[in-house]
Amino acid sequence: MSVPIPDDVVWPRGRLRLSERVHVMGILNVTPDSFSDGGLHADPDSAVEAALRMVEEGADIIDVGGESTRPGAPEVPADEEIRRVASVIGNLREKSRVPISIDTRKAAVARAALDAGADIVNDVSALRDDPALGPLCAERECPVVLMHMKGTPRTMQADPRYGDVVAEVRDFLTDAVSRAEDAGIARELTIVDPGIGFGKTVAHNLELVNRLDELGETGRPVLLGASRKSFIGKTLDIDSPAERLEGTLAVTALGVARGARIMRVHDVKANVRVVRMAEAVTATR
């Protein structure tokens, strides 16, 4: 299987060298209620320490989130989300030049995060929730991750249905890239994410991973975020998210083989090793 390698993503303050290697994005949730690590990094100092450990373990990007988007999660007010993320991002920026992503759907939060030193906006709504977010990203010339989600975090797992899940997700992401361009965001700054677990059944998620290479038809780099998610637990009959490492690593290896260029993960060291090994194998084709 041959998947085209995308160009680098370049913005005024940085570059993701995706033409050279797959990148690993470390997850830093500063929330009390995220599905896997809620409450672990509520203290800003411990959050920064955790981020720096992930950088030491090989993370290319740190993704900071202040609002849980697990199934059924309530929305967090913008001022509370800013309180959770801004100081962590500012302190991390003082200590490291690693690219920082802000995981948010809100323009006010993205603005505060970018002011604090973030580089990338990771929007699970693909610029649909807040009409001010697209123009803000265009103004700041920052990369934007556009994710597929059916419904909202509160409703997305209420009997999701598709004809062909991969085709529908691909078409959605193609439209999302066009929507970003209409907002003034350069196409070269967009990254697409199929939204594993966001309005999908176990079967939908497995098919998306298996056919991930078809999302290359969007013409944009693909980010895959499957780490510790419930479809792995249901497939392997494992209730605890913390016990889903092996399943996550299997998806990581398959994701690399199917063309993903950014892997969003909790367990950085193990996933970096799998990514490098998978790249070495696929390079022989």
Report the pLDDT averaged over residues 45-51.
95
Residue 160's alpha-carbon distances to 32, 47, 163, 198, 276, in angstroms, are 27, 34, 11, 9, 34
Between 100 and 153, where is the model more confident?
100
pTM listed for this prediction: 0.94
Residue 157 has pLDDT above 80, yes or no: no
* pLDDT computed for residue 235 by the predictor: 98
What's the mean pLDDT when you consider all of the chain?
93
**Cβ neighbour number for residue 115 with a 10 Å cutoff:** 12
* pLDDT computed for residue 144 by the predictor: 98
pLDDT tens per residue, range 184-229: 999 999 999 999 999 999 999 999 999 999 999 999 999 999 999 9
Residue 39 has pLDDT above 60, yes or no: no
User: d(Cα 283, Cα 207) in Å, to the nearest integer?
Assistant: 24
Residue 246 has pLDDT above 70, yes or no: yes
* pLDDT computed for residue 171 by the predictor: 97
User: d(Cα 229, Cα 65) in Å, to the nearest integer?
Assistant: 16
pLDDT tens per residue, range 168-190: 999 999 999 999 999 999 999 99
Residue 38 has pLDDT above 70, yes or no: no
* pLDDT computed for residue 74 by the predictor: 78
* pLDDT computed for residue 82 by the predictor: 97
User: d(Cα 203, Cα 96) in Å, to the nearest integer?
Assistant: 40
* pLDDT computed for residue 132 by the predictor: 98
User: d(Cα 157, Cα 218) in Å, to the nearest integer?
Assistant: 25
* pLDDT computed for residue 69 by the predictor: 80
pLDDT confidence bin for 75, thresholds 50/70/90: confident
Residue 232 has pLDDT above 90, yes or no: yes
CA atoms within 13 A on the CB side of 212: 29
First to last CA, the chain: 8
Domain locations along the chain: 21-282
CATH superfamily of 21-282: Dihydropteroate synthase-like (3.20.20.20)
pLDDT tens per residue, range 12-34: 999 999 999 999 999 999 987 55
Q: What is the CA radius of gyration of the chain?
A: 17
Catalytically active residues, by annotation? 229, 264
Report the pLDDT averaged over residues 257-273.
98
Report the pLDDT averaged over residues 256-263.
98
